[in-house]
């Protein structure tokens, strides 16, 4: 743990065609970003030049062509650890986060994947632990149904314990490779795990040396009580999704308030909401880009999901109608206020609200504005402890990322919020975390 002044953390959540569902349709938009090796390498190198903490790849284990209009970036993409191994060779400092769904994996395999990437990257690997939300995934793994929430989390907790234990089964000095004596391995420093639990039986040891970082940083996501408990016990970083600062502040306090139960302090866990920045050199430029993106959305303008969300039925109105009286629903008033902010005007229509809902339905914070306006929001959330940083989701690629790196990052650095140089070489060091001792060595020392 570090005692240094609190510092903003920034990472990229890669959406190959951009977070906005129509990002790929812009004249300058990238359509094959999920598969272009040169493009992916250039993105990672840009982030490293800007001193970002990490490059993050999400994952899901089911898909269909009907995702193309709302989630084109998530419809098809490369397997995370394969891609990150490639990027490890093209970068030197930036953290590399890969997603693994524990519900459809085996701990021994994941311990191998993650430890291998940590060695290849010289200590920059991290594991984003998810339990899955797509019920269709079960059918791809010889199962009839997706497990319920409680079972998935029980399984994940035991899974994490096994992987963490396997990483420690070879102590740091367990391979002396002594040519004079002929001792390649010191068997007294190699340990069987011998785990027998409710879901798994794993003997060990792992067939890979302890990771460079000792224990890889663990990432979790979600705001439910069970996800908070998982984060408080195991996570070094938690990803969240909300566009309401008050909600973010409440979650921040709640999840960090659970840390002492596990002998941890507030600085041991970083909270990063998702941020979708549509930034321009002027406010007008940003608003124009937001409008251009929305006009390219492919949709049947079904107002049902929006009506259900806000608690007011809009299906009898024309898209060009001004918003009706929304005072009967606090949720509706909130969404209308956010949509007005994104459009930069009060007189928005039902179409404007529909577009805002379509773009932000996944819950991340959409900010539209100039360099100063975007930086102000980031600083406000950081200073008010709604966030320790942000998981940046550019709306289109590569331009949406380039403008953020060119305009916003230097402004955050000028304000003293974000680093101008890396102070370490591993991802744990970027997060201000020390390298943990090996559990077996600690036991031996009493």
Half-sphere exposure of 13 (CA within 13 A, CB side): 27
Residues 6+ apart with CB under 8 A from 146: 103, 132, 134, 135, 137, 138
pLDDT of residue 231: 95
Is residue 265 scored above 80 in pLDDT? Answer: yes
Phi-psi map region of 369: left, alpha, beta (phi>0 left; psi -120 to 50 alpha): left
**Structural tokens at position 302:** 């079904």
Query: How confident is the model at residue 249, as a pLDDT?
Result: 97
Question: What is the rounded distance in angstroms from the CA atom of residue 437 to the CA atom of residue 363?
Answer: 38
Tens of pLDDT, residues 7-39 = 999 999 999 999 999 999 999 999 999 999 999
Whether residue 199 contacts residue 160, with contact meaning beta carbons closer than 8 Å, is answered with no
> Pick from 364, 380, 412: which residue ends a domain?
364
> Is 2 inside a domain boundary?
no
Strand pairing partners for 237?
Answer: 219, 270
pLDDT over 50 at 2, yes or no = no
What are residue 134's phi and psi, to 5 degrees?
A: -90, 110
C-alpha 135/C-alpha 11 separation (Å) is 28
Instruction: Give the model's pLDDT for residue 235.
Output: 97
Euclidean distance between the first and the last CA atom of the chain, given in angstroms as a whole number: 22
Tell me which of 364, 398, 426 is where a domain ends: 364
Q: What is the pLDDT of residue 129?
A: 97
- 357 and 376 co-located in one domain: no
**pLDDT band at 1, cuts 50/70/90?**
very low
Same domain, 234 and 302: no
Confidence of residue 444 (pLDDT cuts 50, 70, 90): low
| In a shared domain, residues 91 and 32 | yes
Number of domains the chain is built from: 2
Strands (DSSP E) along 144-256, which ranges? Answer: 195-196, 201-202, 218-221, 237-240
Same domain, 439 and 342: no
Q: Give me the pLDDT at residue 67, please.
A: 77
Q: Are residues 68 and 103 in the same domain?
A: yes
pLDDT at 68: 81
- Cβ atoms of 115 and 170 within 8 Å: the answer is no
- Rounded Cα distance between 273 and 6, Å, is 17
Contact 218, 234 (CB under 8 A): yes
For residue 230, pLDDT beyond 80: yes
pTM, to two decimals? 0.95
CA angle 62, 64, 68 (to 5 degrees): 120
Give the mean model confidence (pLDDT) for residues 312-331: 94
Q: Are residues 120 and 172 in the same domain?
A: yes
Confidence at residue 320, expressed as pLDDT on a 0 to 100 scale: 96
Q: Give percent of the chain above pLDDT 70.
A: 98
Domain boundary among 329, 364, 399: 364
pLDDT at 73: 77
Evaluate whether residue 269 is within a structural domain: yes
Mean pLDDT, residues 330-348 taken together: 93
Q: Do 336 and 198 belong to one domain? A: no
Q: Do residues 61 and 126 share a domain?
A: yes
pLDDT of 4 reads: 67
User: Is residue 223 very low, low, confident or very high in pLDDT (cuts 50, 70, 90)?
Assistant: confident
Same domain, 80 and 140: yes
Q: Could you report the per-residue pLDDT of 358-403, keeping only the tens digit for each?
A: 988 778 999 999 999 999 999 999 999 999 999 999 999 999 999 9
- From start to end of 233-269, where are the E strands? 237-240
How large is the average pLDDT for residues 135-161?
Answer: 93
Nearest CA to 136 among 146, 122, 147? 146
445 pLDDT higher than 70: no
Q: 3-state class of 275 per DSSP?
A: strand
Is residue 47 located within the same domain as residue 188? yes
Q: What's the length of the chain?
A: 446
Least reliable range by pLDDT among 2-6, 80-84, 153-157, 237-241: 2-6
Domain assignment present for residue 434? The answer is yes
Q: What is the pLDDT of residues 57-113, one digit of tens each?
A: 988 878 788 878 778 877 788 899 999 999 999 999 999 999 999 999 999 999 999
Q: Which residue from 376, 365, 367, 368 is spatially nearest to 282, judged by alpha carbons?
A: 368
Q: Does some domain include residue 210?
A: yes
- 206: containing domain: 9-277+368-444
C-alpha span between 208 and 118 (Å, rounded): 11
Q: Identify the band that residue 422 occupies on the pLDDT scale cut at 50, 70 and 90.
A: very high
To 5 degrees, how large is the angle CA 356–CA 321–CA 362?
15
- Whether 191 and 253 map to the same domain: the answer is yes
Whether residue 352 is predicted with pLDDT greater than 90 in this model: the reply is: yes
């Amino acid at each position: 743990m570090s005692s240094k002044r609190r510092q903003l953390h920034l990472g990229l959540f890669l959406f190959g065609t951009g977070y906005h569902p129509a990002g790929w349709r812009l004249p300058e938009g990238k359509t094959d970003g999920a598969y272009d090796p040169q493009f992916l390498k250039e993105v990672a190198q840009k982030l490293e030049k800007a001193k970002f903490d990490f490059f993050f790849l999400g994952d899901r284990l089911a898909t269909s062509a009907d995702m193309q209009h709302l989630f084109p970036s998530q419809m098809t993409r490369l397997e995370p650890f394969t891609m990150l191994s490639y990027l490890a060779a093209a970068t030197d400092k930036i953290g590399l986060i890969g997603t693994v769904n524990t519900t459809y994996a085996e701990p021994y395999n994941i311990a191998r994947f993650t430890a291998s990437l940590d060695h290849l990257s010289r200590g920059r690997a991290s594991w984003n632990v998810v339990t899955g939300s797509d019920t269709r995934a079960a059918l791809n793994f010889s199962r009839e149904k997706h497990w319920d929430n409680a079972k998935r989390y029980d399984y994940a907790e035991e899974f994490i314990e096994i992987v963490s234990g396997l990483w420690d089964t070879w102590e740091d000095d367990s391979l002396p490779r002594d040519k004079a004596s002929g001792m390649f391995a010191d068997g007294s420093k190699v340990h069987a795990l011998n785990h027998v639990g409710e879901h798994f039986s794993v003997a060990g040891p792992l067939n890979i040396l302890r990771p460079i970082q000792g224990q890889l940083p663990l990432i979790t996501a979600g705001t439910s009580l069970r996800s908070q408990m998982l984060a408080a016990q195991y996570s070094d970083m938690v990803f969240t999704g909300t566009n309401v600062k008050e909600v973010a502040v409440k979650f921040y306090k709640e999840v960090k308030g659970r840390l002492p139960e596990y002998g941890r302090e507030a600085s041991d866990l970083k909270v990063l909401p998702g941020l979708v920045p549509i930034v321009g050199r002027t406010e007008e430029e940003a608003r124009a880009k937001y409008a251009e993106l929305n006009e390219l959305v492919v949709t049947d303008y079904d107002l049902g999901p929006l009506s259900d969300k806000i608690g007011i039925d809009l299906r009898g109105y024309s898209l060009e109608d001004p918003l009706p009286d929304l005072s009967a629903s606090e949720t509706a008033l909130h969404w209308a206020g956010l949509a007005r902010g994104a459009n930069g005007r009060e007189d928005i229509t039902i179409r404007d609200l529909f577009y805002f809902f379509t773009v932000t339905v996944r819950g991340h914070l959409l900010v539209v504005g100039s360099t100063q306006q975007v930086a102000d929001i980031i600083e406000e959330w950081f200073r008010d402890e709604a966030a320790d940083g942000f998981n940046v989701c550019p709306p289109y690629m590569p331009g949406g990322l380039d403008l953020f790196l060119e305009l916003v990052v230097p402004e955050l650095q000028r304000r003293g919020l974000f680093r101008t140089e890396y102070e370490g070489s591993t991802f744990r060091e970027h997060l201000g975390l020390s390298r943990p001792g090996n559990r077996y060595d600690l036991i031996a020392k009493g």
